[in-house]
Amino acid sequence: MEPNIFPKEGVVSLEMERFPKLTDVLAEARRVATFLWEKGWAEASGGNLSLDVTDAVGGVASAGADWTPLPRAYPSLAGRSFLVTGSGRRFRDFARQPEAHGVVLSLDAAGDRWARLWGGESPGFRPTSELPSHLAMQAHLRETARAERTVLHAHPTELIALSHLPAYKDEAALDDALWGMLPEVKIFLPRGVGLVPYALTGTEMLAQRSLAALERGHAVLLWEMHGALAVGRDPAEAFDRLDVANKAAAVLLKCLAAGVVPEGLGKTRLAELTQAFGLDEKIR
């Protein structure tokens, strides 16, 4: 592990004085970025993050800002602002210097352009290439009044490994296997993991396939042979959901590596958990 990658609390640009409420939001995002790096889920420039920070920044870019057109309009996000990591940027570097490797971008009144509000201070900075997927999901969360405001993409090792195995390329089979590994998976992810068929990274096709899985009520999506994505009320909750799903995948793979197909909790125990925790009401 390279030295000095950890967040230095309080190290921000002078521009931060304009947005004092952003400090706490950034602190949590930086901690989660560090967790992802430590787990090996954010190799090189792998992974990205978006977070609705409209309440923290209290405004949008001025009409005279340098606006960049989006591939399509997101009317439900008009006038809202998002903290977004950069394209080709490392999470470990974002943890150390968020103002250089992340940006707060603001959408205009039509929701079809964005402008920089804070950050993006390094040469050649661009928002994540997965911005279409992030905005599509942020729009869905807002339009359906879900509580989540964070969209987090990373590369959890064991979940990716499962997506390469033919037995788990079916969503129902995948969910049954993961739920069966430990009770917390059913508690944290009562609607299971949404399986997203492979699509080229950064494309509208990937965005639409991800949106379809989100519309089914999932909080974690597994991008086939690529990575996983989670939504949460904040970065910590999104990370927790990824962490729990990947723990189940790791337990499953360890059992299979030992030459044993695990018995799993079974339908009766899972039904008990659903009733005991009122799980059908937990996601939305």
The residue length of the chain stands at: 284
- 271: number of Cβ within 10 Å: 12
pLDDT surpasses 70 at 1: no
pLDDT of residue 262: 96
Q: Where are the beta strands (DSSP E) in the chain?
A: 48-52, 68-69, 81-85, 102-107, 113-119, 150-154, 193-196, 220-223, 227-232
The single residue listed with the structure tokens 């965005």 is: 207
CB 130 within 8 A of CB 201: yes
**Mean pLDDT of the chain, nearest integer:** 91
pLDDT surpasses 80 at 12: no
Q: Which residues contact 62 (CB under 8 A, 6 or more apart)?
A: none
Q: Which residues contact 197 (CB under 8 A, 6 or more apart)?
A: 209, 224
Which band of pLDDT confidence, cut at 50, 70 and 90, is reported for residue 2? very low
Ordered alpha helix ranges (H), 83-156: 91-96, 98-101, 131-143
CB 233 within 8 A of CB 150: yes
The single residue listed with the structure tokens 């990824």 is: 242
CB 99 within 8 A of CB 11: no
Cα–Cα distance for residue pair 5/2, rounded to 1 Å: 7
Which band of pLDDT confidence, cut at 50, 70 and 90, is reported for residue 281? very low
Across 228-233, average pLDDT: 97
CB 174 within 8 A of CB 168: yes
pLDDT tens readout for residues 41-99: 999 999 999 999 999 997 677 766 889 999 999 999 999 999 999 999 999 999 999 99
- 3-state DSSP: the chain helix, strand, coil percent, rounded to 5? 45, 15, 40
pLDDT surpasses 50 at 194: yes
CA-wise closest residue to 133 among 47, 56, 217: 47
Q: What percent of the chain has pLDDT over 90?
A: 82
